[in-house]
Chains A and B, each alone.
Chain A
């Protein structure tokens, strides 16, 4: 498939935004259980705003993918059948809840509403954060299922696609949370860093499994089945046109195997290896800038990872567009 930058930015940016929100809420839950020092409301409010900005940037990026962005509202109608439509609903839902979560913290509306079993004080932020977490996981699922539900594109048609989007989103979000904590100078840097490394390692497992899987399988259909001529030596002589068409532009990446190999090694290095090393170094040196660097490198790596994700996908329609002459 042709890698479209609008979709690459959409999926990576909202992944980071969602991961960051999960990080904030995880931090709040840990603080509630007295496992971490409680943070000021500003930490959550500013963090939510950063998360919201990232989700919004992703939303803007997605509009560049559309031929008619002014009709985008129509995309909310087919949620019964289309994962894309479900994403269109889940994204604003998550954004709204994250906005509320940040607002509640910003205005310090965190007086306990009631107390469960005399130990768990429940306030607005806990409820909204919980709902937000559901929406964020739902959004991860929708975004990934857009690709994972296309049964003709075997490289994507796998639960590994969902695992990949989920773990890499969480990893980059926690990485950003770690960088954000370091920037604010609070003590959550190592907490977020640890979880970022764990999510990154899970992401590595999913990604390597995907690469292994995609390097081995054979497509279910071949040219014989596509044309219906069962001859062992069947060759295309003409596509029906001499210039290009939508079919030759949208479904072919046109990149050399060498470039893709370079992208593959680069993203494996930038998403998984370098950020983990930088986070470990940040522990050792108690550095405030290294987590930020780790996040920056991982995000750039994620762009390459998504680029590779699209070029990996072989569409069966390509069988009909093998040679021009």
Chain B
């Protein structure tokens, strides 16, 4: 079984929103579109996005750390939004595990959004149906594209390669290796929804070293003892070692 997913590296995400804009650009004109906006150039603009980049700050100034946190549908292995749908419009694809909405069946009751603890489904106020990240299903399944382009728009757009895409059920895939070796974690794991998308944590490489390890204390021959500097006025040439 294949389970396509994203792995988002919070260590390198700089919060540039390139994934947000490329997602909207690709999907609004594609299979999942339009992603309508209300009052886009007016006061109080709003609209549908499948992907948002939020920013969090940990700590108190000056000891702070800024986290840019891209947030989209996690394509859960056990998606709570799917069984509650009364029409079957919300479904999880058997072949690749992507959670999708059939806009022609959706009655716009919003019950699925209540059942999602992550708040990643957005109701389209104009089309009156529920929308969500499709993992660019029209791109990743399009065999006419070269394989390097058969990836979600957000992944292709990311300038820091903070987004990795692949099959998390394949233990040798890039995403599986990243999750395994770089501490990949799921959001709100307490619920048992088993999100497929994972996040890689902020990572810092520090060595544990003590002061006495920098200076050799056990040095009977004083091999590394520095000569006392000669008094001022003398040059090094005058010193006999």
Interface residues of chain A, those whose CB is within 8 Å of chain B, are 1, 65-69, 71-72, 74-78, 81-85, 88, 146, 149-153, 220-221, 223, 225-229, 231, 233-247, 250-251, 315-318, 320-321
Contact = CB atoms under 8 A, between A and B. Distances in A.
B125 to A, nearest CB: 8
B54 A236 contact: yes
11 contacts: A67-B129, A68-B129, A77-B86, A84-B86, A151-B80, A220-B191, A225-B187, A228-B10, A228-B199, A236-B54, A242-B45
B165 interface: no
- Size class of the B contact interface (CB-based, 8 Å): 35 or more
A321 B119 contact: yes
B140 interface: no
5 shortest interchain CB distances as A-B pairs: A67-B108, A317-B119, A67-B128, A240-B52, A231-B58
A316 B117 contact: yes
Contacts of A237: 55-57, 66
Contacts of B46: 241, 243-245
B230 interface: no
Contact of B84 (A69, A76, A82, A239): A82
A30 to B, nearest CB: 38
A78 B119 contact: no
B119 A315 contact: yes
Given A68-B106, A237-B55, A237-B66, A77 B88 contact: yes
A245 to B, nearest CB: 6
A226 B199 CA distance: 11
A75 B87 contact: yes
Contact of B87 (A77, A238, A244): A77
Contacts of A316: 117-119, 188
B12 interface: no
B56 A75 contact: no
Interface of B: 10, 17, 20, 39, 44-49, 52-60, 65-67, 69, 71, 80, 83-89, 105-111, 113-119, 121-123, 125, 127-129, 185-191, 199, 201-202
Nearest to B84: A82
A44 to B, nearest CB: 33
B86 A78 contact: yes
Contacts of B57: 234-237
Given A75-B86, A82-B84, A239-B54, A221 B111 contact: no
A245 B122 contact: yes
Contacts of A226: 187-188
Contact of B71 (A152, A153, A225, A320): A320
Given A68-B107, A88-B86, A317-B116, A234 B187 contact: no
A315 B187 contact: no
Contacts of B191: 151-152, 220-221
